[in-house]
Structure 1
Amino acid sequence: MRLRGVTGEAMRDILSGTTHALLYAAALMAIMFTAAGAELLQLRSIDERIDDYVSSGASTYVVEYPGRIDARSCESLADAPGVHAAGAIRTADSRISFAVLPSTSLPLLEATPGAVQALASANSRDTRALTGSESSGVWLSGQAAETLGLTSGQTARLADDTPATIAGVYPSPEDGRSSNATYAVVQPVPRDGVFDECLIKTWPVPDSIESLALLSVGTVSDDGDNRPTVRQLNTRFGAGLDSSALFSSRATAWMPALAGGVALALGFVAVWTRRLELASALHCGVPKPALVLQMMLETASWTFAAIVLCLPLPLAVMHLWAGSAPQQIVVLTLRPMLAAALGAVAGAVAASLCVRERDLFAYFKRRI
């Protein structure tokens, strides 16, 4: 039997409804969509947990060593793998008062550009570069801005009538962070000289974060009791978050195998319910390889239809995924879908191979 004859017979079965292509395409689409959706929900849950951890400041580390943090060394840590921003902070000798509340003075902190960048993205997983206008003027913590009634871009008057441009407002939620920048005014300064702290925003957290952080220290005191300390900005979420372990231990890790197994059963049933028809074809002289190929083509038709119907899901993930690396999420979403497609075809082939001509009369007797 020639290939043209096999494809023609497969096409006639599909168009006549013998294959029940629409029914099996809908069933396979349900398997694919359920498996891919479950995987997507699990990945989203992991991504949200990482977002909460990073945006809380749990992956941000602070090196404290008053008067001994080298600004340039601290800023250079931003080039290390996993470090998104790093900068130095020191407390100014004087405090600052605004004309709207002249009787209330706020701590004035001097921060290098990297520190301002880390503060500006304190409640976000991502870290963005500062614009030119954000690099000049002063920054207010969210609490200070609310108290003073000031917003980003405004020009405020200090208590001595000096104008001050509000370059930006950085978040300062009361969520367990231990920082002197929670209620303060931050003045951007050049990355020169010595400071009190080095702020390092990371993700994923480097294994050698403490050793890396200590590279920001300029000189170490001879006093054994006077040593730099490295701590998390926020310890509310624990000492660490193993995202690799979360991913490998997720409940849907075996979803491709499960989807493939269920689809294999579906493909087997789709062909096995036609065993009387197939055995009759074998009895009439149709070669077994040609029959197997015909079943593969018919199964491939509704398998392809199911894939096309499920494509909006990975396309939506590509454009709407709020987390990082959407391409990797799309690949993980496609895995159970492709496994289901291969399982359906494999099941059809297995059922085709199980049909035997000598069992024709047995199939006839047991027909429904």
Structure 2
Amino acid sequence: MTLAAIWREVWRDVVSGTSRTLTFALILAAVVLGLGATDIVTVRALTAAAERFQAAGASIITLDAPGRIDPAACSALASVSGVRAAGAIRAGAESLTPLALPSSTIPVIEVTPSLPEVLRTQIGSAGVILSEQAAQTLTVRPGSELQTSETTATVAGVYGYPEDGRRPGLGFAALVPTTDGEAFDECWVDIWPTSPQTPALLQTTLLPDDETGAGQSPTLTQLNSTLGTAFDGRSRFDARVTRLAPWGVLGIGVGLGHLSVRLRRVPLASALHAGTTRQDLGAVVMLETLSWALPATLLAAVAIVVATTLGGDLDARHTVVLGSRTAVAGMAGPLLGSVLGFVLTRERHLFRYFKDR
């Protein structure tokens, strides 16, 4: 058969419905889209859980050692791989008494300049950093002037510290950055992903006992433990059931491809009996399989990409890759199945195929 003859044969089979193109295309598209979307939804749920873990401050580990924290060593931890931010804090000697609320005081907490980054707060200028609760009470915002009984301070920023399970103390407070070089009481480190090396890392910020005379054993705690002590995203990702989605699509695709050929064993065996070469007939089978496998896979792949990029995913590029794996399996499965079905089709079995119809 010439190439033109092969294309004509494929076209006739597709248009006449002999190859059941529409039926197999719809089934394959549903399988690829369903399993691919399920895997993406699962990964998105893991990503959202990781974001909730960090947003709640669960990724922040604190080392409490009154009078024994080296502020420079603590801030320098931010340069360590995996550490998003690090800073030290200590209780201030005095409180702020705002003129707007003369009967109330705001506890002052002295911090290293890098501590606001641990609380995911941007500072626009020098000054005090108020908690959201304190800022709302005083009706001020970043850049406002805060009148106190002692002086006038600029509100450099406002940090969030909700009551979501994190330890109390900073919900209604004013942070005052300082670089005096004196020892601090705590070192805070926001480390992601969580690491078993964090305790040893924080121990490097301790000053010797003989320099301070503190004598208290350091205490390592998690700022918010309500979501668990650690988040092992890699293990959860590797253990998800939907990781087998590409293999499931591949297996179903092989089955569909084999079935598409098996349903046409009689005409295929008849064509071989009439003198059509296996090479020419194999080309027809492959092209007819492509006629439903290719559009079905492309349709499902486009739907997955669009849903991923428009869904606000935090890591869209990687989830698109996951969806592409499923789409590739959806393309390869039918081709493998049709090859298998065609290889098992024999001319000498024509009468048996005819009787088994």
TM-score normalised by L of structure 1: 0.88
Cα 1:98–1:293, aligned 2, differ >3 Å: closer, same or farther? Answer: same
Q: Which residue of 2 aligns with 1:358?
A: 348
1:301 aligns with 2:291: yes
Which 10-residue stretch deviates more, 240-249 or 312-321?
A: 312-321
Q: Which residue of 2 aligns with 1:109?
A: 109
Q: Which residue of 2 aligns with 1:171?
A: 160
User: Secondary structure of 1:152's partner?
Assistant: coil
1:210 aligns with 2:199: yes
Q: Write out aligned runs for 1:1-368 (5 A).
A: 1=1, 5-120=5-120, 130=122, 133=124, 135-160=125-150, 162-190=151-179, 192-221=181-210, 225-310=215-300, 311-323=302-314, 325-367=315-357
For 2:202, the aligned partner's letter is A
User: Secondary structure of 1:98's partner?
Assistant: coil
Residue pair 1:35, 1:337 contacting (<8 A) in 2 also:
no
Cα 1:225–1:156, aligned 2, differ >3 Å: closer, same or farther? Answer: closer
**Shift of residue 31, structure 1, vs aligned partner:** 0.4
User: Secondary structure of 2:102's partner?
Assistant: strand
**Shift of residue 270, structure 1, vs aligned partner:** 1.7
d(CA) in 2 for partners of 1:221, 1:205: 32
d(CA) in 2 for partners of 1:319, 1:69: 46
User: Secondary structure of 1:168's partner?
Assistant: strand
Count of residue correspondences? 355
Residue pair 1:39, 1:255 contacting (<8 A) in 2 also:
yes
Residue pair 2:98, 2:147 contacting (<8 A) in 1 also:
yes
TM-score normalised by L of structure 2: 0.91
Which 10-residue stretch deviates more, 6-15 or 78-87?
A: 6-15
**Shift of residue 8, structure 1, vs aligned partner:** 4.6
d(CA) in 1 for partners of 2:180, 2:82: 21
User: Secondary structure of 1:84's partner?
Assistant: strand
**Shift of residue 207, structure 1, vs aligned partner:** 2.3
Deviations 1:320-360 (A, max 9, x none): 4432x332222122222221221111111111112111222
Cα 1:331–1:197, aligned 2, differ >3 Å: closer, same or farther? Answer: same
**Shift of residue 149, structure 1, vs aligned partner:** 2.9
d(CA) in 1 for partners of 2:246, 2:136: 50
Which structure 1 segments of 5+ residues have no match?
122-129
Q: What is the identity percentage for the equivalent residue pairs of Structure 1 and Structure 2?
A: 35
Which 10-residue stretch deviates more, 191-200 or 25-34?
A: 191-200
